[in-house]
Chains A and B, each alone.
Chain A
Amino acid sequence: KQEVTQIPAALSVPEGENLVLNCSFTDSAIYNLQWFRQDPGKGLTSLLLIQSSQREQTSGRLNASLDKSSGRSTLYIAASQPGDSATYLCAVGDSNYQLIWGAGTKLIIKP
């Protein structure tokens, strides 16, 4: 059974730093991996979608990488800003129409 883990559960860094969020999964037979952002009391916003055949995707200050063989993905945030404060979730698309989710990393960017 696929399991997705995100470590750390919470992270606090000063504004302007570059940072990396981690996501690991137990079964490498995935269809895709997605990173989402969730603001308090709000829904989820898709940030990046990496197909299983891809190694990375970029959008603005965000870069996500995927290494299926090691069961890892990282989300790199460059030049962090207070507006980046949110919970970041990764989800793995498996072969059964399902997304398997990590519990998230709560990120706080201090001004």
Chain B
Amino acid sequence: DAGVTQSPTHLIKTRGQQVTLRCSPKSGHDTVSWYQQALGQGPQFIFQYYEEEERQRGNFPDRFSGHQFPNYSSELNVNALLLGDSALYLCASSALWGGDKDTQYFGPGTRLTVL
């Protein structure tokens, strides 16, 4: 049973560019959440997707957008990259039902460096 997967592992971009990060949820999960983790900090919630819609959003600008596909996989897009966007981006998946309902399981993350 595959866990949460993310691609790519590492990414280097320059200021002003756009980036797309990808996430496949754990088998049986239908909800995907994205988090940004700056160096030495705890993760910060960006947004959550369920049934292909953004259900909740954290305190992040509109430069951060996302999408969820019918197979529950998800993308995170960041436009007009700033140096401050350099961070580890974590994807987490969860399900509304089952023994571990509402428990978020994380992928290995994508390390984004903006130069």
User: Are the chains A and B members of one assembly?
Assistant: no
Binding site for B on A (CB under 8 A): none
